[in-house]
Amino acid sequence: MSMKISPEKALAIATLARLEISPEQAASLSAQMDDILGYMDKLNELDTADVEPMYTPVDQPGFLRLDEVTKDLSRADILRNAPESDGEYFIVPRIV
Amino acid sequence: MSRIFSYSLTQVRDGLRSGEISAQDATRSCLERIATTEPKLDALLHVAAEEALSQAAAMDKNGPDASKPLWGVPVIIKDVLATCGMPTTCGSKILENFTPVYDAHCVTRLKEAGAIILAKANMDEFAMGSSTENSAFKVTKNPWDTTRVPGGSSGGSAASVAAGQCFASIGTDTGGSIRQPASFCGIVGVKPSYGRVSRRGLVAYGSSLDQAGPMTRNVADAAEILQVIAGHDPKDSTSVNVPVPNYLDALKRCGSLKGLRLGLPKQYWGEGLSAEVDEACRQAVELAEALGAQIVPVSLPHTEYAIATYYILAMAEASSNLARFDGVRYGRRSSQTQDLATMYTRSRSEGFGEEVMRRIMLGTYVLSAGYYDAYYKKAAQVRRLIRQDFLDALFSCDLICGPACPTTAFAIGENTADPLQMYLTDIFTISLNLSGLPGLSLPVGLGQDTGMPVGLQLFAGNMEEEKLLCAAQTLEAHLPKLPETPFA
């Protein structure tokens, strides 16, 4: 059986997901992912050409709240868990 | 008085209401129980002892409030639900120092009902796991046998309720995470219909699957909790705006299973089921029959596709949901911050555990260009077939009934080497989350080989939780009571 996920592919997926993995992790993850995805290929036994995908169990149409301004949280509360903040904004490393 | 912790929720609530038990008595009894059991169980991540005691003291000063159905009742919350001012880690290092500034909707409801939030329960990291071995902080043990897992991902909640650390816990169920640990620990667990309980403040894993629900020592207690937490929340667009029935009144009216059509799906009662689970569950079904239920064979033909379907969808949703952990607004930030991308990548990689990384990567893969149709869309299509199976089966029966898990609680370490093997243990619980329907796990006895609890599941039509509760309570009343856990 050909491998869907080579260690190189695993590294590429990690980059997409903003994760950093070691070459050893890439090797073991690629084998595990291959195993799991191989199992998932089972779904191809089913003909689903005419089946509407179901993305949520909720049948109701999305409802809207009244467009009212409310203040649930203060700025201080929102910033309370920030790793870095100046009291007004979230601070991130310089990008420009 | 020293054994208040062993009372049922309803018993302690009645004692509190009459003034026979003070809120401080109830709280102290649970805290003492936590002190003696926790070194062996590791069920909890945070105990708010001082806050709970001072709240109880303040409540006692004013006396019982009969308008509050849970007045003075200590409860424990799974650490995936936001609790204002109390740490909420999701069992992850990435949220190790996170303290929410608001309460999850169901926590607000519990507080309004007079409950005392005693502690936060351990769990598999971000609810990804079936054994609570994936917590970044500790491995919770099963109170029936501490060499075994309590199940997962709400394993801390299940162990705490079974051991008498509290009178109820709120767990969450994405693929069985309430029902499977309830089954492993010999307690009652209810996964409400999707949309019945608001998900606001429930840190999302699989948003189209997640649902919070009660974990308690008996069915009436579960009804008390569900009554409080169920109902529409305008701030959760997936919360369904339909009236909540009075579950407590419904329970008073039922007492027989006469005329109930109980559907047994053949896919749940055959291959892969351990002999002791089969035996205990069959006895419970025979009891149901003796109590007047009519046993109907039904079929859920797409069951064999459920695990693949579930894991594709859950991992896809997880990879998207967990993108929010970037070290900017909350959670861990790496010390390596030379540029923004490095900060994101290092913060995530230092913060997430192995199983979470694996699921994010698989989710990223199945959502990526070129694979989306083959995996994600395909799984969403099979999901509809799986739900249709349930709807078809419920056409010829009132409730569907099967074992909660193929085995009793397995040994710690037994399934950790092979992730796929661990996923396969979820076979009987995950279809329900795909369908969105409600389910309940009821302890029906101890397995004759392992001596560990066995859970029987009941599934009902959408929003028909009262049918589940009624049938389960009737069965419970006629089943032999489980012995006390070895901790008692």
- ipTM of the complex in this document: 0.95
pLDDT grade for B2, boundaries at 50, 70 and 90: low
Question: Quick check: is B78 catalytic?
Answer: yes
Query: Which member of B153, B157, B319, B347 is catalytic?
Result: B153
**Residue A25 domain flag:** yes
Q: Token pair for residue B372? A: 């989306």
Counted residue by residue, chain A has a size of 96
Query: Which member of B22, B177, B183, B193 is catalytic?
Result: B177
Cβ–Cβ gap B365/A55 under 8 Å: no
- Count chain A–chain B contacts defined by CB atoms under 8 A: 162
Reply yes or no on whether the pLDDT at B320 is more than 70.
Answer: yes
| Of B216, B215, B45, the residue nearest B125 (C-alpha) | B45
**Residue A14 domain flag:** yes
B299: amino acid identity, one letter: S
pLDDT grade for A96, boundaries at 50, 70 and 90: confident
Cβ–Cβ gap B333/A83 under 8 Å: yes
**Residue A13 domain flag:** yes
Supply the range of the domain harboring residue A20: 7-45
The CA-CA-CA angle for residues B199, B205, B206, to 5°, reads 80
Instruction: Judge whether B365 and A11 are in contact, CB under 8 Å.
Output: no
Q: Which of B18-22, B368-372, B437-441 has the lowest mean pLDDT?
A: B368-372
Reply yes or no on whether the pLDDT at A28 is more than 80.
Answer: yes
Cβ–Cβ gap B357/A19 under 8 Å: yes
Cβ–Cβ gap A53/B348 under 8 Å: no
pLDDT grade for A1, boundaries at 50, 70 and 90: very low
B456: helix, strand or coil: strand
Q: Token pair for residue B322? A: 């967990």
Question: Quick check: is B135 catalytic?
Answer: no
Cβ–Cβ gap A17/B436 under 8 Å: no
Res B272: pLDDT: 85
Q: Sign of torsion, CA B388 B389 B390 B396?
A: positive
- The conformation of residue B479, written as its DSSP 8-state character, comes to S
- Tell me which chain B residues have a C-beta less than 8 angstroms from the C-beta of A44: 378
Cβ–Cβ gap A48/B308 under 8 Å: no
The whole-angstrom distance between A2's CA and the closest CA on chain B is 17
In terms of phi and psi (left: phi > 0; alpha: psi -120 to 50; beta: otherwise), the region of B77 is: beta
In chain B, where are the structural domains located?
A: 4-263+278-298+399-478, 304-384
**Residue A57 domain flag:** no
**Residue A58 domain flag:** no
**Residue A64 domain flag:** no
**Residue A2 domain flag:** no
The number of folded domains in chain A is 1
pLDDT grade for B250, boundaries at 50, 70 and 90: very high
Residue with tokens 């690629």: A30
What's the whole-model pTM score?
0.97
| Interface test mutation site (partner B, options A52, A56, A72, A79, max chain B beta carbons within 10 A) | A56
Q: What distance in Å separates the CA atoms of residue B151 and residue B131, rounded to the nearest whole number?
A: 4
**Residue A17 domain flag:** yes
| Interface test mutation site (partner A, options B349, B352, B366, B434, max chain A beta carbons within 10 A) | B349
Q: What distance in Å separates the CA atoms of residue A56 and residue B363, rounded to the nearest whole number?
A: 17
**pLDDT tens string B192-222:** 999 999 999 999 999 999 999 999 999 999 9
Name the CATH superfamily, with its identifier, for domain B4-263+278-298+399-478.
Answer: Amidase signature (AS) domain (3.90.1300.10)
